[in-house]
Each structure stands twice: as structure tokens, then as C-alpha cells.
Amino acid sequence: MSAAGGQLALRDVSKSYVGRDGREVQALDGVDLAVGPGEFVALIGPSGCGKSTLLRIAAGLEQPEAGEVLLDGAVATERLGRCAFMPQRDGLLPWRRVIDNVTIGLELEGVGSAQAREQALPLLERFGLGDFAQSWPWQLSGGMRHRVAFLRTAINGRPVMLLDEPFGALDGITRAELQQWLLEVWRDLGTTVLLVTHDVSESVFLADRVLVMSPRPGRIVAEEDVPLSRPRELRVEETPEFAAAEARVREALRVAVTGI
Amino acid sequence: MSTPADRPSRRLLRRLLPPALVLAGLVVAWALAVSLFAVDPEVLPGPGLVVESTWADRSALAPAAWTTLQEAVLGIAVAIFLAVLLAVAIDWSRTARRSLYPLLVASQTIPIIALAPLVVIWFGFGQTPKVVLVALFTFFAITVGTLQGLASSDPDSMDLLRTMGATRRQLLLRVRLPSAMPQFFTGLKVAVAYSLVAAIVAEFVGAEQGLGVYMTGAKNALRTDLVFGAVAVTAILTLVLFGLVALAERLSMPWRRPAQVEADW
């Protein structure tokens, strides 16, 4: 499952939509960003700043009104099926056992279900879900469901992963555990990740680079490198380097929101 | 994990006991009223007489019930086929939704039962007109249920599969149709509850065999006890059909939580 390529760029992307009151809302206004192969980038911004819209555009679920999306340096207009995407809610299919939820992406590509299971089982075992392979989704805790959802997103081996607030709905303890788990899986997969979040310490803990978005219309207004070594453990959050990086992102976010 | 009180057999008993007691009470009241007021059995036979005469006439009643049951089941099968086809078409294509859905709703203002004579004129006195009438009478509930079920598909799951490159056909087969199953079964349960009634009404209009014919004959002979017997048989057959659908529902959706399964009966 090693990933070839894995470069994602958005050039001057704008998008507006008609809101519930019938007025046009500018969601994104000239967004430029680039994520390099194997890089982990977090996109942070106040709620409603259009970060989910941005991710949906990158995934190909929506098209920008202006601007373009590039994959591996080439303009990509048909992007569905090219990037791995994980929605905010886990979206597990309740009528499929855990293993069959994970294999769905392979099945869609025409891999036979027996072969797909063979491919998925080691992955489940390696990442702590082996005992749950035959469970129904309702039997899992929220954290477990998210792990399943993540492996399902990862199994096709797409070089770019787009994660839309994957841990937003989880409690703090589960969340910390999953962040750590995500880093381990990511190190194994070596994919490019663009993660949307509204949690500053999550963005610093996970990412190589944090992009800060302004409130609507969304625009990238700041960029902070995270100079923490990898592999990272939860303890890194106690270090002064972590605190400094977190403070810089928080300050950039404050400036983005208040404008002062 | 399950305490003794949670065992399925116990649960079923707990569920069945109260209505059985109420029913028994009603039957006892019926028997008492008939004997206390010395009611003419041609007007209201007592429960004992109904059971006795019905059992005595079983060689005539059984083939009648069998005929009607076949009509009802075939009619339901046709209805399922049409309803799922129609629901998928309406769900699939905006044109189909705009052109068919209003007509579908409007078609329910037609009193289907009143179509029975027409159906007999078109299809004769055999099995076909009964099957047609049962299908016409029951397909709406299944269509509406299936449509709602299709629409209840989780948008996040749909988006996710689209990002995996799923085609519309794959989305239909892997997300929308499975999502529709619970509501399909709800519609089907409503449909089977009406299926025997529809078959019997079709038989009233013109038939050689069946519960409708049996009831008409018993009525003309002033055998009120046998009319009651046929009504009871109809009710029992309907309950059996309903139970079979509930069983199919349980077996075809093994993924549901126990609380969801419990709501089937």
C-alpha cells in the first residue's frame, strides 16, 4: 500500500452557494494551498469558514466556481475516486460487518469479496481491530467505529487522504487515543494527509504544517510549521516546543478571526 | 448478556399474553350474552356453535381458504415486484419522479375495491382478476415505504462511496436499497394485512371458489355460524401472513440492534 505521488494543490479556488435565506454566501474566496507527498497538513479555522467545503472540493464531491485543483501537478477536474476521503460522521453501513465495511472500496473497484477480505484482515489485525472483524457496526464504541472508518478510507491505497474533522464527535480521552493511533497508521501508510479540524492542539500534535483559515469567505491567512520530531507520543504535548507551536497557531487563529 | 426475562420465548409470551386474555374475555362475554338473551343463532351464533359448525364443514372451507390464500400471496408478489420497480425508478430519475409520483398519489383517490367489477369484466372469473385486484390494492403501501426508505439513505455514506469512485448503480445496490429495507417491510406488512380482504372482495364480484364465495353461500343459506367461521379463518390467515413477513424481516436484516428487532411484531 505504498503511495506513489501524493501531491495536492488548490489554486485560487472560490465557491459560493445559496444559503437557506435565499442569499448568496461566499464560502471560499481565492484559496491557495499545496500539500507535498507524504506531508501531514492540518487546516484549521472557525466553524463555518468553509473548510469542509474546501475538502469536498478537493475530493471532487463539489466543483469550484473559479480556480482549479491539481493532483500530482496536473489539473484534475474529475477527482472522484482519486483521493481517499473520510467524512465527519463515520458513515459505516449498518448492514455490513466491520470487515465488509472496510472492504467496500475494494469491492467497488471490482475486487472479489473473498479476496478483499483476505486483504483487509491483516490490516484490521495490525491496527487493533482483528477481534471486531465479524462485529456489526452498532456493537462498536464511537472510537472503534472511527478506526474502522479510517481503515476503510485507507484500504484503497490512494496517495492523498482528506480527513474532515474525523474526531470531532468523540470525547477527549478517546480522541487522544485515536490521534496517537492515526499517527501510527499514517507512518505505516506514508500517505499525504490534509486534515480539517477546529482543535488547535490536535492540529499541532498531528501535523507537519498548520494552515489557518479566516472566517467566511474562507481564505488561507497564515501558515505555521510544527517543528516537532516524529514519531510523536502524547507526551510531546508537555514540551515547551509544543506549547510554543500551539501558542503561535492560536495567535494566528485569533488574528484571523478578529482581524487585529 | 441476556437475563432470563430477556429470552425471546419469554418475551414473546409476555407480548402475546395480554391480547390473548382480552380476546378470551370477549369470547366469554359473547358466549354468555348469546345464552343469557337466547339470541337466534341465525342472527348471532355463540362461539361454541361457530367452532363446531366450522369444523364440521372443514372439507368445504379448506379448499376455499386455500384458493383465497393463493390469490392473496400471488397478488402480494406482483405488488412487491411492481412497487420496488416503481420506487427505484422514481428514486433514480428526476423525470420519473416528476411524472409518476403525482399520478401514484392521485391513483389512491380511486376506490380500488370499486374497480372489482371492471377487473372481472377484463380478466374473467378465474384467478387473474383476484391477483390483479390484490396487487392494485396493496402496491401503494409498499411503493411509498420503499421510496421513503430509499430517501433515508445516509448522505455521508453516499458521499464516501462517491469519493471511492462508486457509480450510481453501485450506490443504488450498496447503499440505497439496503437502506430501504426496514421501510419496505413496514409497507409490506400493511400490504399483507389488506391482501386477503382484497381477494375476498374480488371473489364477491364473481368467482367459483374461495372464501368470498363460501361466505356468500353461507349467507344465502342463513348459516351465520359459517360466515363467522370464514371471517375467523380470514383473520387467522392474515395473522399468519403478517407473521411470515415479520419473520422474513428479521431473517433478512440480521444486522439490526435488538431494540429495532423487537419492534417488528
Model pLDDT for residues A140-149, shown as the tens digit of each residue: 998 999 999 9
Expressed in angstroms, the distance from the first to the final Cα of chain B is 23
Q: In whole angstroms, what is the distance from residue A16 CA to residue B233 CA? A: 64
Give the per-residue pLDDT at B263.
73
The separation between CA A111 and the C-alpha centre of its own chain, rounded to angstroms, equals 25
Contacts A161 to B, Cβ<8 Å: none
CA nearest neighbour of A5 among A115, A84, A88, A109: A84
A→B interface, C-beta within 8 Å? 56, 59-61, 80-97, 104-105, 107-109, 136-138, 152-153, 156, 162
- Which region holds residue A190: left if phi is over 0, alpha if psi is between -120 and 50, else beta? left
Q: What is the average pLDDT across A82-111?
A: 94
**CB of A193 within 8 A of CB of A166?**
no
Contacts B165 to A, Cβ<8 Å: 80-82, 108-109
Give the per-residue pLDDT at B229.
96
Dump pLDDT digits (tens) for B224-259. 999 999 999 999 999 999 999 999 999 999 999 888
Residue with cell 487585529: A260
The proportion of chain A whose per-residue pLDDT surpasses 90, expressed as a percent, equals: 70
CA nearest neighbour of A189 among A8, A55, A35, A37: A37
Give the per-residue pLDDT at B2.
45
Crossing angle of helices B177-205 and B58-92, in 10° steps, is 140
Answer whether 0.95 is exceeded by the pTM: no
Q: In whole angstroms, what is the distance from residue A137 CA to residue A92 CA? A: 7
**CB of A150 within 8 A of CB of A185?**
yes
Cell of A68: 482549479
Crossing angle of helices B177-205 and B116-123, in 10° steps, is 80
Query: Residue A75: pLDDT above 50?
Result: yes
Give the per-residue pLDDT at B258.
83
Contacts B170 to A, Cβ<8 Å: 108
Q: In whole angstroms, what is the distance from residue A117 CA to residue A114 CA? A: 5
DSSP-derived secondary structure letter, B165:
T
Helix (H, G, I), strand (E, B) or coil at A38: coil
**CB of B206 within 8 A of CB of B217?**
no
The proportion of chain A whose per-residue pLDDT surpasses 70, expressed as a percent, equals: 98
0.85 surpassed by complex ipTM: yes
Crossing angle of helices B224-252 and B211-220, in 10° steps, is 160
Record: contact B156-A80, CB cut-off 8 A: no
Using only C-alpha atoms, chain A has a radius of gyration, in whole angstroms, of 18
In Å, how far are B16, B107, B241 from B235, measured between CA atoms? Answer: 16, 28, 10
B→A interface, C-beta within 8 Å? 154, 156-157, 159-166, 170, 174-175, 178, 181, 253, 255-257
| A224: β partners | A210
Give the per-residue pLDDT at B185.
97
Give the per-residue pLDDT at B257.
87
Cβ-nearest to B161 among A60, A90, A108: A108
Residue with cell 445559496: A18
Q: In whole angstroms, what is the distance from residue B106 CA to residue B98 CA? A: 13
**CB of A124 within 8 A of CB of A154?**
no
Cell of A22: 435565499
Exposed/middle/buried for residue A77 (C-beta within 10 Å: 0-12, 13-18, 19+): exposed
pLDDT band at A1 (very low <50, low <70, confident <90, very high): very low
Q: What is the average pLDDT across A153-182?
A: 90
In Å, how far are A22, A175, B213 from A194, measured between CA atoms? Answer: 32, 18, 72
Q: In whole angstroms, what is the distance from residue A59 CA to residue A191 CA? A: 15
Please identify every stretch of chain B with a pLDDT value under 50, giving residue numbers as ranges: 1-5
**CB of A194 within 8 A of CB of A161?**
yes
Give the per-residue pLDDT at A4.
57
Give the per-residue pLDDT at B1.
45
